[in-house]
Amino acid sequence: MTATQTECPIRQVKFVSIPSRDQPRALAFWTEKIGLRILTDSPFGDGQRWIELQIPGAETGIVLFTPKGHEDRVGTFFNGSFEVADVEKAYAELKARGVEFTSPPEKQPWGTFAVFRDPDGNQFVLSGRS
């Protein structure tokens, strides 16, 4: 470590939040169509629930929760990317489960990607290195 560097106490991203208008519908989508697992599903004030999901084999989770005052985030583009081993295979599997994609997989010099939507209109990148 150089004199200008400091040790970082952050270990990882624990979870990312996906805003939703309808938590039960979002929960069904992410568990039944995408295949995530429920870690926590508890009441969380104002009629909402704290729903934390696990990506099988990953340490970063997903939370289906919209903080009060952030409703305008529902239906926007997710600032991140979900990595898969094979984008074309994942695209075919998820499309067969009823997941809506904006277009088929596209190859780029940095890898392959496809964009899908959840029931709230949020858009997500599915990407791979090849």
Please give the mean pLDDT across all residues of the chain: 94
Give the mean pLDDT of 118-130: 95
Q: Six-digit token pair at 78?
A: 């997710």
The 3-state DSSP class for residue 72 equals helix
Q: Are 62 and 20 in contact (CB under 8 A)?
A: no
Strand partners, 98: none
Q: What is the CATH number of domain 75-130?
A: 3.10.180.10
Whether 13-68 shares its CATH topology with 75-130 is answered yes
Cα separation, 110 vs 33, in Å, equals 27
> What pLDDT does 9 receive?
93
Q: What is the pLDDT of residues 50-96, one digit of tens each?
A: 999 999 999 999 999 999 999 999 999 999 999 999 999 999 999 99
Q: What is the CATH number of domain 13-68?
A: 3.10.180.10
Q: Give the domain ranges of the chain.
A: 13-68, 75-130
> What pLDDT does 5 receive?
79
Q: Which amino acid is at 11?
A: R
> What pLDDT does 67 receive?
92
